[in-house]
A and B are shown apart, each in its own frame.
Chain A
Amino acid sequence: MKLFEFMGKELFAKYGITTPRGKMVTSSEEAVAVAGEIGGEVVVKSQILSGKRGKGGGIAFASSPAEAGEAAAKILGSTVQGLKVESVLVEEKLRIDKELYLAITVDGSAKKPVLIASASGGMDIEDVSEDKIVKHHIDTFVGLQPYAAREIFRQMGLDQTVAKEFYKLLPTLYKVFREKDCELVEINPLVISGDRLIAADAKVTIDDEALFRQKDLPHVEERTESEQKAHALGLSYVQLDGNIAVMANGAGITMGTLDIIQHYGGAAANFLDAGGGTGQEGTAKALEILLSRNPRVILINIFGGITRCDDVANALVSVKNEIGIPVPVVIRLVGTNEELGVNILKENGFDAYKMMHEAAARAVELAR
């Protein structure tokens, strides 16, 4: 779950990390008021879950409250990086001496947290050359100790004015990362302003799997309505643009099914991993989600391990009888209780395929 910038900054502030003075608002009147309270020049930043806001017209500077109001009016309701802007953050404009980059994330290869820092901040870290990036892996049983902060600081080649602030910031940021189950905490830019270090941006991603124990964080919903419905059923669902609705059991085989559709020239309407052991009822609900988006054809690919083929067949029949299925269904059904499942399908006018690619080819043909 990604947090909006203003949420990330509120979280940082709670831990004592310095952030610019400012406030999130949803109207130009409020923007005028906040700019007035701050005084002087301000920056108005669109609050969307995407980077590169500057390039998309999502960030504006203002030298008076009236100008801040105008900027907010222009940005609110507009579309930046394909996302509708519903709120803006009005903040003091910082005097910038230097911009740094600082992040902590999960390194899947090392299976450890990694701190990434650079004295060349303010741009995409991907665009910074490797020799200007400092990486430090963290042993979770040791944590990020002051000595590591000193060494990282030394490698970044910064002058001593902000040393003390930097030594304090790193362990604090690591504390946020661990205590809030973050996948990513990123400050870009981390601004040197005189002898102060200020987090001028905040990108925080919380591990979805840990939300059960992160109850005090705000909730941010990025999923579509169908995706939310599927999630509530314990299914993994991603909405796509094609016209062939797909249901399979397992993330890998679902991806493989999407790939094979593309291979034959078709396009999938979604990724739906019905998981293992989804019973008849769960399967029927999954089918209803697929139908709600009016596909041209439905392709079901089941390799039954824990999933029982007869459950899948019965689910299909029950949906057909209860709400009707107005589009063709192509089904590949093998594995546990295969014969039983295939017989149920035959009795009810469905054909079952044995090979995944044959079923996919047929679905693509029907979708044309």
Chain B
Amino acid sequence: MAIIIDENTNVIVQGATGNQGKFHMKQMLAYGTKVVGGTSPGKGGQEVEGVKIYDTVFAAMEENRVDASCIFIPAPFAKDAAFEAIEAGVKVVVVITEHIPVHDEMDIINYARKKGAMVIGPNTFGIVSSGKCKMGIPPNQFFIPGHVGVVARSGTLTYEIVGNLTANGMGQSTVVGLGGDRAVGLSFIDVLEKFEKDPETKAVVMVGEIGGNQEEEAAAFIKKMSKPVIGYIAGKSAPPGKRMGHAGAIIERGKGTFEGKVKALKEAGASVATLTFEVPALIKERLAL
């Protein structure tokens, strides 16, 4: 078991002939992901990295069962690509692209809701069910199978934390990147709910950051969870009003502060790491390993 994607997930890559799409499709294949096709308008019939290319998502679905799509399409055209996947009936749409206008993001999420599809991202590193399936851009070598679920808003910070877990012999069930933008498809709660139900997941690491109130909302759910949650919040030292890289990482009008998030998590019974390397020790403590 894992959440959202596993060894049976059939994946397509939208934008498979571009630099990013091609490079990461190769890495995904190397990780063992079942990539059944790629799309690139006008290039249908070609092969890239041994994967058949189709002109459209609809064409790919005529020949394959497609469970999930990974989008590497430049920001101005990303909404169109996501709409295409959703309308074609793909149920898990992972949008790696960054710098997508927020109005396009709201439209993508809106359409997905109406069609019963799940959007991961935009501006995400993707999702990895360790040892089974990787969709997105994380470096393969740090993700080993195990029992820790990870959900995060930021990419490299997740690699840092997952790297520490792996170095301590703690593998991961699934690692989910929500995305760093203001409007993203999944919330912490959506993923926490799935980890709570997943028999393979024994503990959850939640990597948040300043800005918004997602972490505070998640705290209400953590209170009801049977599994231990270890939190880490980035941005303790960030000055208010400054956008720290991610569109969503900004303290506005006194809201979205580090202190508020840590307090909410602690009150909900989560352990909170002050520094990234403390996470494995806190998991050991909570699981009494």
Q: Which residues of A contact B (CB under 8 A)?
A: 106, 108-109, 111-113, 126, 139-141, 178, 181, 183, 207-210, 212-213, 236, 238, 240, 248-256, 258-263, 268, 271, 273, 276, 303-306, 334-336, 355-357
Question: Lowest 6 CB-CB distances: which A-B pairs, in order?
Answer: A252-B154, A251-B245, A250-B156, A252-B157, A210-B101, A255-B234
Q: How far is the CB of A358 from chain B (nearest CB, A)?
A: 10
Assess the A256–B245 pair: CB atoms within 8 A.
no
Instruction: Report the bound CA distance from A246 to B78 in whole Å.
Output: 32
Q: Give, as a whole number of angstroms, the nearest-CB distance from B245 to chain A.
A: 3
| Interface residue B240 (Cβ < 8 Å from any Cβ of A) | no
Contact of B236 among A106, A140, A249, A262 (CB under 8 A): A262
**Cβ < 8 Å to A, chain B residues 100-140:** 100-103, 105-107, 109-111, 114, 137-139
Contact B110 A112 (CB under 8 A): yes
| Distance of A238 Cα from B210 Cα, bound (Å) | 15
Interface centre among B138, B159, B248 (most CB of A within 10 A): B159
Nearest B residue to A214, CB-CB: B101
Query: What's the nearest-Cβ distance from chain B to residue A185, in Å?
Result: 13
Contact partner of A108 among B76, B114, B183, B244, CB < 8 A? B183
State whether the Cβ of B221 lies closer than 8 Å to any Cβ in chain A.
Answer: no
Q: Which chain A residue has the least Cβ–Cβ distance from B104?
A: A210
Q: Is the interface of A mostly helix, strand, loop or mixed?
A: mixed
**In the assembled complex, how far is the CB of residue B109 from the closest CB belonging to chain A, in whole angstroms?**
5
Cα separation A120 to B107 with both chains bound (whole Å): 32
Docked-complex contact A357 and B277, CB < 8 angstroms:
yes
Tally chain B residues at the interface, Cβ within 8 Å. 60
Task: Using A108-B183, A305-B156, A356-B276 as known contacts, list a sample of 7 further A-B pairs with CB atoms less than 8 Å apart, ordered by residue number in A.
Answer: A111-B185, A183-B182, A248-B156, A252-B153, A252-B155, A305-B155, A357-B277
The answer to whether A112 touches B245, judged by C-beta atoms less than 8 angstroms apart, is no
Does B247 have its Cβ within 8 Å of any Cβ on chain A? yes
What is the CA–CA distance of A166 and B182 in the complex, to the nearest angstrom? 29
Given contacts A140-B107, A213-B76, A336 and B214 within 8 Å (CB-CB): no
Q: Is B254 an interface residue (CB 8 A)?
A: yes
A249 in contact with B156 given A109-B214, A209-B99, A335-B139 (CB within 8 Å): yes
A305 touches B159 (CB 8 A): yes
Q: Is there an interface contact between B237 and A262, defined as CB atoms closer than 8 Å?
A: yes
- CB pair B160–A356 under 8 Å, yes or no, is yes
Residue B75 is within 8 A (CB to CB) of chain A in the complex: yes
28 residue pairs A–B, Cβ–Cβ below 8 Å: A111-B184, A126-B253, A181-B103, A207-B101, A209-B247, A213-B101, A250-B155, A250-B159, A250-B245, A251-B209, A252-B207, A253-B159, A253-B234, A254-B244, A255-B154, A255-B157, A255-B237, A255-B238, A255-B245, A263-B236, A263-B275, A271-B245, A303-B159, A305-B139, A335-B139, A355-B277, A356-B160, A357-B276
Does the CB pair A253–B160 fall under 8 Å? yes
Check A259–B156 contact: CB distance below 8 A.
Answer: no
Residue from B109, B237, B244 with most neighbouring chain A CB atoms (10 Å)? B237
